[in-house]
Amino acid sequence: MEELAAEKHVRYILSVEKKKDSFESVVMEHLRMNGAYWGLTALDILGKLDTVDVDEVVSWIISCQHDSGGFGGNVEHDPHILYTLSAVQVLALFNKLDVIDVDKLTSYIVSLQNEDGSFSGDIWGEVDTRFSYIAICCLSILRRLDRINVEKAVKYIISCKNMDGGFGCTPGGESHAGQIFCCVGALAITGSLDLIDKDLLGWWLCERQVKSGGLNGRPEKKPDVCYSWWVLSSLIMIDRVHWISKEKLIKFILDCQDVENGGISDRPDDAVDVFHTYFGVAGLSLLEYPGLKPIDPAYALPVDVVNQIFFSKTSTN
Ligand SMILES: CN(C(=O)[C@H](Cc1cnc[nH]1)NC(=O)OCc1ccccc1)[C@@H](Cc1ccccc1)C(=O)N[C@@H](Cc1c[nH]c2ccccc12)C(=O)NO
Ligand SMILES: [Zn+2]
């Protein structure tokens, strides 16, 4: 049985951090803040976050905060809620949330809530349940959830529930595992999981497991390692994870490793990238693979980091 080549994945992640001019780095240029979250959270789950220069990362993150309080995907990039969560998650990893202007960040997110309770991603107004999750997750980490209308936010999310028990990006949108993770995660954080039909949604989610043991994002699609996060974390949050085969999923993820050069791809024999390396390691953590730190399915952060945020004196209370 293939096992996790942990050391190789650590070296791969650190090498991507170093290579600035590689194709991957250039393509991901505008997503660099998300890339920092994927690489650093994977390193923490693998127990190697201490190999990183904290001050170098933190000063780069601070340089990406916009006057509005939001964060861009890189220095001088326009602020967007997508990158704002990644910035807050990385600072939480290092227990450095006190280095940013939390009040300005809070008012930026509050300004993105619409009349109907939904959230826009930035000033241009695109609405997506992904942004509801990001706003709720971010403000919860900052202990500022009371600054938005949580009741209307929850009502909007429920308005995106479909007959199949799943959720789409807007009311009537097709059920997709990524959107389901966002809606279930937001409901979990706000203590509203009782509004979900867990058997109906659990059935839709466990049907994502295909013969190879991998999970896909929608019926008839090919399996993909990143759905080991979107589907699995949702199943865990609604307490139906025993409806899939954990062993077969572990085998699928391990088969997607490049055991020579490190990294994990979306499916066997494809090119590896930091995104799928993170979601593969995070998926194995949810599957309680030995030697990995446990990760919280709703906050997508290591459990010890979530405990530090909510149960210690030093967080931004
Ligand atoms: C822009 N991205 C995507 O569109 C990926 C592409 C993909 C990878 N494997 C199959 N497709 N898809 C993706 O992230 O879908 C997840 C999703 C989609 C909609 C709602 C929720 C989750 C990827 C980058 C990428 C591009 C191409 C190939 C591999 C990675 C990406 O940056 N995704 C972001 C999306 C996102 C940002 N913040 C979020 C908060 C909650 C959920 C998702 C996100 C991410 O997962 N950040 O942690
Ligand atoms: Zn993928």
pLDDT above 80 (res 16): yes
Euclidean distance between CA atoms 296 and 286, whole angstroms? 8
Q: Out of 122, 169, 275, give the residue to mutate to test ligand 1, the one with the largest number of ligand atoms within 8 Å of its CB.
A: 275
User: Can you give the pLDDT at residue 23?
Assistant: 66
Closest residue by CA, ligand 1 atom 48: 34
Closest residue by CA, ligand 1 atom 21: 178
CA of residue 256 to ligand 2 center, whole Å: 11
Euclidean distance between CA atoms 283 and 71, whole angstroms? 27
More confident site: 303 or 316: 303
The token duo for 166 is: 């799943």
CA of residue 82 to ligand 2 center, whole Å: 17
CA of residue 41 to ligand 2 center, whole Å: 17
In tens, the pLDDT along 285-312 reads: 999 999 999 999 999 999 999 999 999 8
In tens, the pLDDT along 228-261 reads: 999 999 999 999 999 999 999 999 999 999 999 9
Q: Is the ipTM value over 0.95, yes or no? A: yes
The token duo for 220 is: 């008839």
21 CB-near residues (< 8 Å, 6+ apart)? none
In tens, the pLDDT along 173-199 reads: 999 999 999 999 999 999 999 999 999
Q: Residue 21: which pLDDT band, with cuts at 50, 70 and 90?
A: low
pLDDT above 70 (res 219): yes
pLDDT above 70 (res 107): yes
Closest residue by CA, ligand 1 atom 47: 34
